[in-house]
Amino acid sequence: MNLNKKSILVTGGTGSFGKKFIEMLLDKYPEIGRIIVYSRDELKQFEMSQVFNPIKFPAMRYFIGDVRDKSRLKRACENVDVIIHAAALKQVPAAEYNPMECIKTNIFGAENVIDAALDMGVKRVVALSTDKAAAPINLYGATKLCSDKLFVAANNMKGQRDLRLSVVRYGNVMGSRGSVVPFFMNKKKSGELTITDERMTRFNISLEEGVLMVLHALENAWGGEIFVPKIPSYRINDLADAIGPDCKKTIVGIRPGEKIHEEMITSSDSFNTVDVGTYYAILPQTFRYTKEEYMKKMNAKSVPNDFVYNSGRTNEVWLKVVEIRDLIKKHVDPNFTI
Protein backbone atom coordinates (compact mmCIF):
# COMPACT_ATOMS: atom_id res chain seq x y z
CA MET A 1 0.00 0.00 0.00
CA ASN A 2 1.53 3.28 -1.12
CA LEU A 3 1.20 5.66 1.82
CA ASN A 4 2.09 8.82 -0.08
CA LYS A 5 -0.83 11.27 0.20
CA LYS A 6 -2.40 9.05 2.89
CA SER A 7 -3.27 9.97 6.47
CA ILE A 8 -2.01 7.61 9.19
CA LEU A 9 -2.98 7.65 12.86
CA VAL A 10 -0.68 5.88 15.34
CA THR A 11 -2.16 5.15 18.74
CA GLY A 12 0.51 5.06 21.42
CA GLY A 13 2.63 6.95 18.92
CA THR A 14 5.18 8.21 21.45
CA GLY A 15 6.33 4.71 22.37
CA SER A 16 9.43 2.93 21.09
CA PHE A 17 7.61 1.40 18.14
CA GLY A 18 5.78 4.61 17.24
CA LYS A 19 8.97 6.65 17.08
CA LYS A 20 10.74 4.14 14.84
CA PHE A 21 7.64 3.63 12.68
CA ILE A 22 7.27 7.37 12.09
CA GLU A 23 10.99 7.77 11.40
CA MET A 24 10.85 5.06 8.74
CA LEU A 25 7.57 6.36 7.28
CA LEU A 26 8.98 9.86 6.77
CA ASP A 27 12.03 8.39 5.07
CA LYS A 28 10.13 5.94 2.85
CA TYR A 29 7.16 8.15 1.91
CA PRO A 30 8.31 11.77 1.40
CA GLU A 31 4.86 12.79 0.15
CA ILE A 32 2.89 11.26 3.01
CA GLY A 33 -0.27 13.22 3.83
CA ARG A 34 -0.56 13.27 7.63
CA ILE A 35 0.94 11.30 10.50
CA ILE A 36 -1.15 11.72 13.64
CA VAL A 37 0.50 10.82 16.93
CA TYR A 38 -2.34 9.90 19.30
CA SER A 39 -1.33 9.42 22.94
CA ARG A 40 -2.12 10.66 26.42
CA ASP A 41 1.28 11.94 27.65
CA GLU A 42 1.80 15.59 26.70
CA LEU A 43 5.44 15.58 27.85
CA LYS A 44 6.34 12.68 25.57
CA GLN A 45 4.54 14.40 22.70
CA PHE A 46 6.48 17.60 23.36
CA GLU A 47 9.77 15.70 23.43
CA MET A 48 8.85 13.85 20.25
CA SER A 49 7.92 17.10 18.52
CA GLN A 50 11.48 18.32 19.10
CA VAL A 51 12.69 15.45 16.91
CA PHE A 52 9.81 15.33 14.42
CA ASN A 53 9.03 19.03 14.32
CA PRO A 54 5.89 19.93 12.33
CA ILE A 55 7.79 22.85 10.77
CA LYS A 56 10.43 20.52 9.33
CA PHE A 57 7.96 17.66 8.84
CA PRO A 58 4.64 19.30 7.87
CA ALA A 59 2.84 15.94 7.86
CA MET A 60 3.17 15.63 11.64
CA ARG A 61 0.21 16.16 13.96
CA TYR A 62 0.07 15.61 17.72
CA PHE A 63 -3.24 14.70 19.37
CA ILE A 64 -3.64 14.31 23.12
CA GLY A 65 -6.10 11.51 23.71
CA ASP A 66 -6.70 8.10 25.24
CA VAL A 67 -7.94 5.02 23.36
CA ARG A 68 -10.45 4.64 26.20
CA ASP A 69 -12.10 7.88 25.00
CA LYS A 70 -14.19 6.86 22.00
CA SER A 71 -15.42 10.33 21.05
CA ARG A 72 -11.92 11.84 21.10
CA LEU A 73 -10.56 8.89 19.13
CA LYS A 74 -13.26 9.28 16.47
CA ARG A 75 -12.49 12.99 16.20
CA ALA A 76 -8.82 12.15 15.64
CA CYS A 77 -9.79 9.66 12.91
CA GLU A 78 -11.50 12.16 10.63
CA ASN A 79 -10.23 11.62 7.05
CA VAL A 80 -7.74 9.00 8.27
CA ASP A 81 -6.86 6.18 5.86
CA VAL A 82 -4.78 3.92 8.12
CA ILE A 83 -4.70 3.20 11.86
CA ILE A 84 -1.68 1.56 13.48
CA HIS A 85 -2.79 0.51 16.95
CA ALA A 86 0.24 0.41 19.25
CA ALA A 87 -1.29 1.77 22.47
CA ALA A 88 -1.31 -0.71 25.34
CA LEU A 89 -0.57 -1.26 28.99
CA LYS A 90 2.10 -3.95 28.73
CA GLN A 91 4.03 -4.28 31.99
CA VAL A 92 3.15 -7.76 33.27
CA PRO A 93 3.47 -7.09 37.05
CA ALA A 94 1.55 -3.80 36.77
CA ALA A 95 -1.26 -5.56 34.89
CA GLU A 96 -1.47 -8.28 37.54
CA TYR A 97 -1.79 -5.64 40.27
CA ASN A 98 -4.12 -3.30 38.33
CA PRO A 99 -6.22 -5.69 36.22
CA MET A 100 -9.14 -3.43 35.33
CA GLU A 101 -6.85 -0.64 34.14
CA CYS A 102 -5.20 -3.11 31.75
CA ILE A 103 -8.60 -4.37 30.57
CA LYS A 104 -9.91 -0.85 29.96
CA THR A 105 -6.97 0.08 27.75
CA ASN A 106 -6.14 -3.19 26.01
CA ILE A 107 -9.67 -4.56 25.41
CA PHE A 108 -12.09 -1.63 25.57
CA GLY A 109 -9.49 0.55 23.83
CA ALA A 110 -9.23 -2.00 21.02
CA GLU A 111 -13.03 -1.97 20.65
CA ASN A 112 -12.96 1.82 20.39
CA VAL A 113 -10.31 1.68 17.66
CA ILE A 114 -12.45 -0.79 15.71
CA ASP A 115 -15.61 1.33 16.10
CA ALA A 116 -13.72 4.44 14.99
CA ALA A 117 -12.40 2.63 11.93
CA LEU A 118 -15.89 1.40 11.01
CA ASP A 119 -17.56 4.77 11.56
CA MET A 120 -14.94 7.09 10.05
CA GLY A 121 -14.17 5.39 6.73
CA VAL A 122 -10.71 4.07 7.61
CA LYS A 123 -9.29 1.68 4.98
CA ARG A 124 -6.65 -0.34 6.85
CA VAL A 125 -5.97 -1.20 10.49
CA VAL A 126 -2.96 -3.06 11.84
CA ALA A 127 -2.91 -3.85 15.57
CA LEU A 128 0.25 -4.77 17.44
CA SER A 129 0.09 -7.90 19.56
CA THR A 130 2.58 -9.88 21.65
CA ASP A 131 3.93 -13.38 22.07
CA LYS A 132 2.25 -13.36 25.49
CA ALA A 133 -1.15 -13.50 23.73
CA ALA A 134 -0.49 -17.13 22.70
CA ALA A 135 -1.69 -19.48 25.47
CA PRO A 136 -1.63 -16.59 27.95
CA ILE A 137 -0.90 -17.16 31.62
CA ASN A 138 -0.89 -13.49 32.67
CA LEU A 139 -3.51 -10.78 32.44
CA TYR A 140 -1.56 -8.73 29.91
CA GLY A 141 -1.40 -11.69 27.53
CA ALA A 142 -5.08 -12.46 28.09
CA THR A 143 -6.11 -8.90 27.28
CA LYS A 144 -4.01 -8.91 24.12
CA LEU A 145 -5.54 -12.24 23.06
CA CYS A 146 -8.98 -10.64 23.50
CA SER A 147 -7.79 -7.65 21.49
CA ASP A 148 -6.51 -9.93 18.71
CA LYS A 149 -9.87 -11.71 18.58
CA LEU A 150 -11.71 -8.39 18.35
CA PHE A 151 -9.63 -7.17 15.39
CA VAL A 152 -9.96 -10.49 13.58
CA ALA A 153 -13.74 -10.66 14.13
CA ALA A 154 -14.23 -7.04 13.05
CA ASN A 155 -13.61 -8.13 9.46
CA ASN A 156 -16.91 -9.99 9.64
CA MET A 157 -18.94 -6.86 10.38
CA LYS A 158 -17.39 -4.37 7.98
CA GLY A 159 -20.20 -4.87 5.46
CA GLN A 160 -19.33 -3.32 2.09
CA ARG A 161 -16.65 -1.06 3.51
CA ASP A 162 -13.20 -1.14 1.93
CA LEU A 163 -11.66 -1.99 5.29
CA ARG A 164 -9.16 -4.67 6.29
CA LEU A 165 -8.07 -5.26 9.86
CA SER A 166 -5.12 -7.49 10.74
CA VAL A 167 -2.74 -8.17 13.62
CA VAL A 168 1.04 -8.52 13.93
CA ARG A 169 2.34 -10.64 16.81
CA TYR A 170 6.01 -10.67 17.73
CA GLY A 171 8.39 -11.24 20.63
CA ASN A 172 10.58 -9.03 22.77
CA VAL A 173 11.75 -5.92 20.93
CA MET A 174 15.45 -5.37 21.51
CA GLY A 175 16.04 -2.12 23.36
CA SER A 176 12.39 -1.10 23.70
CA ARG A 177 11.46 0.88 26.78
CA GLY A 178 11.11 -1.36 29.85
CA SER A 179 12.64 -4.45 28.18
CA VAL A 180 15.42 -6.64 29.53
CA VAL A 181 18.31 -5.30 27.40
CA PRO A 182 18.27 -1.71 28.73
CA PHE A 183 17.51 -3.12 32.19
CA PHE A 184 20.65 -5.29 32.11
CA MET A 185 22.73 -2.47 30.63
CA ASN A 186 21.74 -0.23 33.51
CA LYS A 187 22.20 -2.93 36.17
CA LYS A 188 25.66 -3.69 34.79
CA LYS A 189 26.93 -0.53 36.51
CA SER A 190 26.25 -2.14 39.88
CA GLY A 191 28.28 -5.23 39.02
CA GLU A 192 25.30 -7.53 39.49
CA LEU A 193 22.66 -8.82 37.06
CA THR A 194 19.43 -10.33 38.40
CA ILE A 195 18.18 -13.34 36.42
CA THR A 196 14.72 -14.71 36.98
CA ASP A 197 15.45 -18.29 35.86
CA GLU A 198 18.52 -19.74 34.12
CA ARG A 199 16.34 -21.80 31.77
CA MET A 200 14.51 -18.75 30.42
CA THR A 201 14.44 -18.02 26.68
CA ARG A 202 12.88 -15.26 24.64
CA PHE A 203 12.27 -14.37 21.00
CA ASN A 204 14.15 -11.33 19.72
CA ILE A 205 13.20 -8.75 17.10
CA SER A 206 14.49 -5.26 16.32
CA LEU A 207 12.29 -2.19 16.07
CA GLU A 208 13.13 -1.95 12.36
CA GLU A 209 11.97 -5.53 11.78
CA GLY A 210 8.77 -4.78 13.68
CA VAL A 211 8.07 -1.77 11.48
CA LEU A 212 8.76 -3.75 8.30
CA MET A 213 6.30 -6.36 9.50
CA VAL A 214 3.57 -3.74 9.96
CA LEU A 215 4.27 -2.40 6.47
CA HIS A 216 4.04 -5.97 5.12
CA ALA A 217 0.63 -6.35 6.78
CA LEU A 218 -0.57 -3.07 5.27
CA GLU A 219 0.54 -4.21 1.84
CA ASN A 220 -0.56 -7.85 1.91
CA ALA A 221 -3.31 -8.44 4.48
CA TRP A 222 -6.61 -9.82 3.23
CA GLY A 223 -8.15 -9.09 6.62
CA GLY A 224 -8.24 -11.22 9.74
CA GLU A 225 -4.68 -12.57 9.66
CA ILE A 226 -2.36 -12.65 12.65
CA PHE A 227 1.13 -12.30 11.20
CA VAL A 228 4.04 -13.89 13.10
CA PRO A 229 7.69 -13.32 12.15
CA LYS A 230 10.40 -15.95 11.86
CA ILE A 231 12.92 -14.61 14.36
CA PRO A 232 15.74 -15.98 16.53
CA SER A 233 15.68 -16.78 20.22
CA TYR A 234 18.22 -16.13 22.95
CA ARG A 235 18.92 -17.69 26.34
CA ILE A 236 18.77 -15.27 29.26
CA ASN A 237 22.19 -16.46 30.45
CA ASP A 238 23.68 -15.68 27.02
CA LEU A 239 22.15 -12.20 27.15
CA ALA A 240 23.68 -11.65 30.58
CA ASP A 241 27.08 -12.87 29.32
CA ALA A 242 26.81 -10.58 26.30
CA ILE A 243 26.18 -7.48 28.41
CA GLY A 244 28.02 -8.11 31.67
CA PRO A 245 30.32 -11.14 31.44
CA ASP A 246 32.12 -10.17 34.65
CA CYS A 247 28.99 -9.33 36.62
CA LYS A 248 27.68 -11.43 39.47
CA LYS A 249 24.51 -13.24 38.37
CA THR A 250 21.82 -13.57 41.02
CA ILE A 251 18.79 -15.82 40.52
CA VAL A 252 15.65 -14.12 41.85
CA GLY A 253 12.86 -16.39 40.54
CA ILE A 254 10.25 -15.78 37.88
CA ARG A 255 7.79 -12.94 38.33
CA PRO A 256 4.01 -13.42 38.61
CA GLY A 257 2.55 -14.24 35.20
CA GLU A 258 5.91 -14.97 33.58
CA LYS A 259 6.78 -17.96 31.39
CA ILE A 260 10.06 -19.84 31.05
CA HIS A 261 9.62 -19.94 27.26
CA GLU A 262 7.37 -17.81 25.07
CA GLU A 263 5.04 -19.09 22.36
CA MET A 264 3.76 -17.27 19.32
CA ILE A 265 1.90 -20.13 17.62
CA THR A 266 0.27 -22.90 19.65
CA SER A 267 -0.54 -26.40 18.43
CA SER A 268 -4.21 -25.41 18.37
CA ASP A 269 -3.38 -22.58 15.95
CA SER A 270 -1.44 -24.89 13.62
CA PHE A 271 -4.51 -26.02 11.66
CA ASN A 272 -5.11 -22.43 10.51
CA THR A 273 -1.47 -21.38 10.10
CA VAL A 274 0.36 -20.99 6.80
CA ASP A 275 3.97 -20.24 5.94
CA VAL A 276 4.23 -17.17 3.69
CA GLY A 277 8.03 -17.00 3.54
CA THR A 278 9.37 -14.37 5.90
CA TYR A 279 6.32 -14.73 8.14
CA TYR A 280 3.69 -17.15 9.32
CA ALA A 281 0.04 -16.14 9.09
CA ILE A 282 -2.62 -17.48 11.44
CA LEU A 283 -5.80 -17.27 9.35
CA PRO A 284 -9.29 -16.63 10.74
CA GLN A 285 -11.32 -19.79 11.27
CA THR A 286 -14.51 -18.33 9.81
CA PHE A 287 -14.31 -15.72 7.09
CA ARG A 288 -15.05 -15.03 3.45
CA TYR A 289 -11.94 -16.78 2.12
CA THR A 290 -10.64 -20.30 2.70
CA LYS A 291 -7.19 -21.44 3.73
CA GLU A 292 -6.76 -23.06 0.31
CA GLU A 293 -7.65 -19.83 -1.53
CA TYR A 294 -5.21 -17.89 0.60
CA MET A 295 -2.36 -20.35 0.05
CA LYS A 296 -2.89 -20.35 -3.72
CA LYS A 297 -3.01 -16.57 -4.04
CA MET A 298 -0.16 -15.88 -1.60
CA ASN A 299 2.05 -18.80 -2.70
CA ALA A 300 1.95 -20.04 0.88
CA LYS A 301 2.17 -23.54 2.29
CA SER A 302 0.50 -25.16 5.26
CA VAL A 303 2.47 -25.95 8.41
CA PRO A 304 2.38 -29.46 9.91
CA ASN A 305 -0.49 -30.36 12.21
CA ASP A 306 0.47 -29.74 15.85
CA PHE A 307 3.14 -27.24 14.73
CA VAL A 308 4.31 -25.10 17.66
CA TYR A 309 6.45 -21.95 17.50
CA ASN A 310 8.15 -21.70 20.87
CA SER A 311 11.19 -19.61 21.90
CA GLY A 312 12.82 -22.55 23.70
CA ARG A 313 11.65 -25.94 22.56
CA THR A 314 10.94 -25.61 18.84
CA ASN A 315 12.84 -22.61 17.48
CA GLU A 316 15.94 -23.72 15.59
CA VAL A 317 17.56 -20.28 15.25
CA TRP A 318 19.56 -19.11 18.28
CA LEU A 319 21.60 -15.98 18.88
CA LYS A 320 25.14 -16.51 20.12
CA VAL A 321 26.73 -14.17 22.66
CA VAL A 322 28.79 -12.35 20.02
CA GLU A 323 25.69 -11.94 17.83
CA ILE A 324 23.74 -10.47 20.74
CA ARG A 325 26.53 -7.93 21.30
CA ASP A 326 26.50 -6.98 17.61
CA LEU A 327 22.72 -6.48 17.70
CA ILE A 328 22.93 -4.33 20.83
CA LYS A 329 25.56 -2.17 19.17
CA LYS A 330 23.45 -1.90 16.01
CA HIS A 331 19.98 -1.40 17.47
CA VAL A 332 20.37 -0.14 21.05
CA ASP A 333 23.65 1.66 21.71
CA PRO A 334 26.33 2.22 19.02
CA ASN A 335 28.84 2.92 21.81
CA PHE A 336 28.16 -0.35 23.62
CA THR A 337 31.26 -2.15 24.91
CA ILE A 338 31.83 -4.83 27.51
Asked if residues 196 and 236 have their Cβ atoms less than 8 Å apart, the reply is yes
Q: How many CB atoms lie within 10 A of CB 242?
A: 23
Is 90 an active-site residue?
Answer: no
Backbone angles phi, psi at 84, to 5 degrees: -110, 115
| Amino acid type, 221 | A
Cα gap 208→94, rounded to integer Å: 27
7-11/82-85 β-pairing = parallel
The catalytically annotated residue of 19, 132, 144, 291 is 132
Q: How many residues does the chain have?
A: 338
Where residue 12 falls (left for φ over 0; alpha for ψ -120 to 50; beta otherwise) is left
- Judge contact between 93 and 256, C-beta under 8 A: yes
Question: Could you give the 3-state DSSP secondary structure of residue 284?
Answer: coil
Catalogue the active-site residues. 132
